[in-house]
Amino acid sequence: MVALSLKSMVKSMFGLSIFPFNKSALTVLAISSALLVSQAQAASNSHHHRVKKAHATKSGSHKSKIAHNKVSKKSKQKVLTAKASKQRHVLQLAEDTRPSAGDMAGLKHIDALALASNVAFVVDQDSSKVLFEKNAEVSLPIASITKLMTSLVVVEAKQDLTEMIDITADDLDKEKGTGSRLAIGAKLSRADLLHIALMSSENRAASALGRSYPGGLPAFVAAMNAKAKQLGMNDTSYVDSSGLSSKNVASARDLVKLINAAYQYPLIREYSTDSKYAVNPKGKQLLEYGTTNKLVASSDWNIGLQKTGYIAEAGRCLVMQAIIEGRAVVMVFLDSKGKYSRLADAGRIKKWITAMHPQG
């Protein structure tokens, strides 16, 4: 085939017939032709390699740019998250330094145990013997401690805990403007709403519980106040089911009565002392909640019921029933300053009882 091609090439170039050439000449021409073909293929391969390399370089550069952009976006997101966290911290500090109702009433922090709470009341649950008292008669805002009464009204009304309830615009916080992980349109059972209201102090859940009561929220608040009166809570008043309003007020002495009443219901004890719980709102993503009181997960504590609360007017609040040195103790702390101070106050009381063993 090479010979035939060579024949044609020579004839075309010189206008001569190939046959006058001898064998040696033909061989030389064949080798030359093969070399020309090889060089052409090599040149073609080199060109293809350069094109491929240039494409790879361009593609690599594009991928590198995309990766760089991704890293930049992640870095930017981290910066924004850190900035938002810092802003929340600054806002929280500003809230914590605002004068509370207790401050404006002239209540003092100083007491024998150096508690950080303006109000403290500790009682032996079985004998009702007062173990420690500080400003226990003063009626103050109680924030989300309100949700204990909310749960008591729901449970005693024997409402269907399996009934599905929608979160609506009526459940938005118009008092403080706080947010919530429960979006409008989320649908949960009454049991789930009660669970996260007690354990995680979910405000929209508490609002929905009150709103879904026969007669709506006004009837529910009336039932809350009627129950308070029945329990002899004479320094107590409620205006909502969540505790966001500073008009929800009670004295520490009154709250011991509420704790004892709520403690009679295993469901309230269970939900309030759970440390984690997940809900799956219909049509929404799974939501995992945690307790607002880290003491419930501590092996150093045996807590039978608890609830935390906070708004600026109330300060940090905490109520608990716990077994200390074999005795059931009810403790109330209101208007504490600092995020963990109410928990530290509970620890001080526990240490004091353990050391002193006051007899009931």
Could you read off the pLDDT of 184-236 as tens digits, one per residue? 999 999 999 999 999 999 999 999 999 999 999 999 999 999 999 999 999 99
Exposure pattern of 283-318 as b/e (b: 16+ CB <10 Å)? ebeebebebbbebbeeeebebbbbbbbbbbbbbbbb
Q: What is the pTM of this model?
A: 0.74
Mean pLDDT of 306-325: 98
Rounded to whole angstroms, the Cα distance separating 257 from 232 reads 8
- The dihedrals phi and psi of 215, each to the nearest 5 degrees, come to 95, -5
Q: Which residues contact 291 (CB under 8 A, 6 or more apart)?
A: 199, 200, 273, 274, 275, 276, 297
Question: In the 8-state DSSP scheme, what is residue 264?
Answer: T
Residue 110's pLDDT band (boundaries 50, 70, 90)?
confident
Rounded to whole angstroms, the Cα distance separating 33 from 50 reads 26
Q: What is the pLDDT of residue 133?
A: 97
**Torsion, CA 94, CA 339, CA 277, CA 307, rounded to 10:** -110
Mean pLDDT of 136-147: 98
Residue 273's pLDDT band (boundaries 50, 70, 90)?
very high
Rounded to whole angstroms, the Cα distance separating 192 from 208 reads 11
Q: What is the DSSP string of 314-333?
A: TEEEEEEEEEETTEEEEEEE
77 vs 312, residue with greater confidence: 312
What separation in angstroms does the CA of 91 have from each of 84, 94, 103, 168, 243?
10, 5, 20, 28, 20
Q: What is the pLDDT of residue 282?
A: 79
pLDDT digits (tens, 9 = 90+) for 7-24: 444 344 434 343 344 444
pLDDT at 136 over 80: yes
Q: Which residue has the tokens 């094109």?
A: 51
Angle at 151 between CA 147 and CA 154, to 5 degrees: 135
Q: What is the pLDDT of residue 19?
A: 38
Angle at 201 between CA 195 and CA 204, to 5 degrees: 85
Q: Which residue has the tokens 């909310």?
A: 150
**Percent of the chain topping pLDDT 90:** 68
Mean pLDDT of 325-335: 97
Q: What is the mean pLDDT of the chain?
A: 83
Rounded to whole angstroms, the Cα distance separating 308 from 296 reads 12
**Active site members:** 144, 147, 201
